[in-house]
Chains A and B, each alone.
Chain A
Amino acid sequence: MKRFIGFVKKEFYHIFRDKRSLFILFGMPIAQILLFGFAITNEINNVEIAILDQSKEVTTQEIIHKISASKYFNINQLIEKESDIERIFKKGKVKAVLNFEKNFSKNLITKKNAKIQVITDATDPNTANTISNYINAILQNYLKEETTSSLKAYKIEPKTRMVYNPELKSVYMFVPGVMTIILMLVSAMMTSISITKEKEIGTMEILLVSPLKPNQVIVGKVFPYIFLSIINAIVIIVLSIFIFKMPVYGSFFLLAIESVLFIITALALGILISTISATQQTAMMISLMGLMLPVILLSGFIFPITSMPLPLQVISNIIPAKWFIIIIKAVMLKGVGLQFVWKETLILIGMAVLFIGVSVKKYKIRLE
């Protein structure tokens, strides 16, 4: 036990004296969560639009007013002729143009059909889509509120309700993802680098010649990172609760247990990587290419798994991050208990056991 404490103390010296690892450990999580929370977002706010109003009537003015009053749009300018539309898009600032046809009110009353052309800049298709949906919604709203009942045609109006994230805040989606990335990065990459570092500078040999058992060496190396990963998980959750008002409906205890389980899985992966790489450089490359990319692309964090081609859907199953994201989303946003995520939990446990088993075996072979 005394040996173990000495070992862990040494490990902390390594971590706290290396500016790079300090940055990855503590700067990254905070930077990432703030970045994803504030800057990278699927919502639209203050989108610049232009108006081409060929009617200039009370109705069109009312609609324009309604649009500019929303927080989503800013009216950048009013244009006079259709030929201006392209010019204005080319400047790049305006993302959408609303083109009201001539005799808008008249058409609305007599033909019960007035036209507004919504032209969006689809160089960014997602944003364009969102903009057109938002404008549509505002127009529907206006029709409902402002027109007299005589004008209302019979129609079926779908009332959608988004559950678990009613405001469709993207931060709800990013927090679980970022937490997964950070835990993966800290646990797998940092441990694999720190173990290969000992190999590279030759101290691993000295440690193996000492009375320390190989398992003690590995546990000693890994322990500080379990500790730091847990701190990181707490920082991320606290930030997301207090800065982004992210709710945690489920039990904190379950969240903590699942996080520790994921941390152990990632650490086991880190040990596995260190057994197959001889230098820190290799360990880092394998961690980044082999772990980070799949976590970002195939875990369902950014791109929905259900819309992937079948082979990728199958591959996504072997990525621990996928299961962890499902679990923490369910616990944080749906407030479910273990009875709803036991399957995913079991899969993670299975993976952890497998990785630990393989790395113990590989590690022994190296010693022979």
Chain B
Amino acid sequence: MMNNTKVIQVEGLTKLFGDFVAVNKISFEVEKGEIFGFLGANGAGKTTAIKMLIGISKPNEGKALVAGFDVFTQAEEIKNNIGYMSQKFALYDDLTVKENITFFGGIYGLSKKIIKEKTTSLIEDLELQKVTNSLVGSLPLGWKQKLSFSVALIHNPKIVFLDEPTGGVDPITRRQFWELIYKAASKGTTVFVTTHYMDEAEYCDRVSIMVNGKIEALNTPKKLKEHFNVENMNDVFLKLARG
């Protein structure tokens, strides 16, 4: 039986592209409300692993339960219970802030009333009152990222998957972005995040590090540093990635 506090349970999950093993028998569990860092070099298989968890790519082997649903047979149920923000910025530039919120609320089947409430609170939280009716394309990248994150949470998902959400934004905005992540986690949303920035890895409750399709390390940042006897996560990463 599924343990209630575990929102993601993965066992021996594997993805093959022809002969190439993109993801090689990975296993891990994520607790409710946890901020789980999913690290790895480019091409290590992070994005492939995420795609299997969010139900848009079928695994070849293994087991995975996301929000209590099986990725093999219940992809549709999973989709209703997760939020997703990809490394590419993904709101519509030619729609206004308000139209974007309305649209994404709509495709998650929220009622007009709820969308209206959500829009108001979201715009207040992000202090976007002045640009509510501006096209998203005219906003600075940092604002767009924050808006994009909030939109990914619009239907109160149990888990939110963030695939390199802070790529290309300045340190101050990254800081603000992590404040949003903490806020979401404190409300009970589980955050599954991949990142390139090792200082961000320090913010996570636990991190896993993927090398060539396998998870080579999984623990709290503190324990990982102790285990490898280094000062910061950057060195942990370098030690592992270089083998």
Contact of A18 among B82, B86, B94 (CB under 8 A): B94
The answer to whether B55 and A209 have CB atoms under 8 Å apart is yes
Also in contact, A202 and B90, with CB within 8 A (given A13-B99, A209-B79, A368-B57): yes
Also in contact, A211 and B107, with CB within 8 A (given A10-B95, A205-B56): yes
> Which of A1-9, A112-120, A234-242, A259-267 contacts the other chain?
A1-9
- What is the interface of chain A, defined by CB distance below 8 A to chain B? 2-3, 6-7, 9-10, 13-14, 17-18, 201-203, 205-213, 367-368
The answer to whether A211 and B103 have CB atoms under 8 Å apart is no
The verdict on B92 contacting chain A, using a C-beta distance below 8 Å, is: yes
How many residues of chain B are within 8 Å of chain A by beta carbon?
Answer: 30
The answer to whether B94 and A14 have CB atoms under 8 Å apart is yes
B59-80 Cβ-contact flags toward A at 8 Å (1 or 0): 0000000000000000010011
Q: CB-nearest residue of chain B relative to A7? A: B107
**Closest 5 A-B residue pairs measured CB to CB?**
A202-B88, A6-B106, A209-B84, A202-B90, A17-B94
The answer to whether B92 and A203 have CB atoms under 8 Å apart is yes
Q: CB-nearest residue of chain B relative to A204? A: B90
The answer to whether A201 and B93 have CB atoms under 8 Å apart is yes
Contact of B92 among A10, A209, A213, A367 (CB under 8 A): A10
Contact of A6 among B88, B92, B103 (CB under 8 A): B103
Please give, as numbers and ranges, the residues of chain A lying within 8 Å of B103 by CB-CB distance.
Answer: 6-7, 9-10
Once bound together, how far apart are the Cα atoms of A291 and B93, in whole Å? 30
**A105 smallest CB distance to B (angstroms):** 77
The answer to whether B79 and A211 have CB atoms under 8 Å apart is yes
The verdict on B109 contacting chain A, using a C-beta distance below 8 Å, is: yes
The answer to whether B56 and A367 have CB atoms under 8 Å apart is yes
The answer to whether B107 and A212 have CB atoms under 8 Å apart is yes
- What is the interface of chain B, defined by CB distance below 8 A to chain A? 54-58, 76, 79-80, 82, 84-95, 99, 102-104, 106-109, 135
Please give, as numbers and ranges, the residues of chain A lying within 8 Å of B88 by CB-CB distance.
Answer: 201-202, 205
Interface of B, helix, strand, loop or mixed by DSSP: loop
Please give, as numbers and ranges, the residues of chain B lying within 8 Å of A202 by CB-CB distance.
Answer: 86-90
Interface of A, helix, strand, loop or mixed by DSSP: helix
Please give, as numbers and ranges, the residues of chain A lying within 8 Å of B107 by CB-CB distance.
Answer: 3, 6-7, 207, 210-212
Among A7, A205, A367, the one with the most B-chain Cβ atoms within 10 Å of its Cβ is: A205
Contact of B56 among A13, A201, A208 (CB under 8 A): A208
Also in contact, A210 and B79, with CB within 8 A (given A3-B107, A13-B99, A18-B94): yes
Once bound together, how far apart are the Cα atoms of A9 and B96, in whole Å? 13
Please give, as numbers and ranges, the residues of chain A lying within 8 Å of B79 by CB-CB distance.
Answer: 209-211
Please give, as numbers and ranges, the residues of chain B lying within 8 Å of A18 by CB-CB distance.
Answer: 94
The answer to whether A206 and B80 have CB atoms under 8 Å apart is no
Please give, as numbers and ranges, the residues of chain A lying within 8 Å of B94 by CB-CB distance.
Answer: 13-14, 17-18
Once bound together, how far apart are the Cα atoms of A178 and B24, in whole Å? 56
A-B contact pairs, 7 of them (CB 8 A): A3-B107, A10-B95, A13-B92, A205-B56, A209-B79, A210-B108, A211-B109
Among B54, B90, B135, the one with the most A-chain Cβ atoms within 10 Å of its Cβ is: B90
The answer to whether B102 and A209 have CB atoms under 8 Å apart is no
Given contacts A205-B84, A208-B56, A211-B76, 16 further A-B contacts (CB under 8 A): A2-B106, A2-B109, A6-B103, A14-B94, A14-B95, A201-B88, A202-B86, A202-B87, A202-B88, A203-B90, A206-B104, A207-B107, A209-B54, A209-B82, A211-B108, A211-B109
Once bound together, how far apart are the Cα atoms of A7 and B95, in whole Å? 12
Also in contact, A3 and B95, with CB within 8 A (given A202-B89, A205-B86, A211-B76): no
The answer to whether A6 and B102 have CB atoms under 8 Å apart is yes
Q: CB-nearest residue of chain B relative to A6? A: B106
Among A10, A206, A207, A367, the one with the most B-chain Cβ atoms within 10 Å of its Cβ is: A206
Please give, as numbers and ranges, the residues of chain B lying within 8 Å of A14 by CB-CB distance.
Answer: 92, 94-95
Contact of B58 among A3, A13, A213, A368 (CB under 8 A): A368
The answer to whether A201 and B90 have CB atoms under 8 Å apart is yes
Also in contact, A205 and B102, with CB within 8 A (given A3-B109, A7-B107, A210-B79): no
Once bound together, how far apart are the Cα atoms of A13 and B82, in whole Å? 27
The answer to whether A3 and B99 have CB atoms under 8 Å apart is no
Please give, as numbers and ranges, the residues of chain A lying within 8 Å of B92 by CB-CB distance.
Answer: 10, 13-14, 201, 203
Q: CB-nearest residue of chain A relative to B151? A: A206
Please give, as numbers and ranges, the residues of chain A lying within 8 Å of B55 by CB-CB distance.
Answer: 209
Please give, as numbers and ranges, the residues of chain B lying within 8 Å of A367 by CB-CB distance.
Answer: 56-57
Once bound together, how far apart are the Cα atoms of A235 and B243, in whole Å? 67
Among A7, A17, A206, A209, the one with the most B-chain Cβ atoms within 10 Å of its Cβ is: A209
Q: CB-nearest residue of chain B relative to A212? A: B107
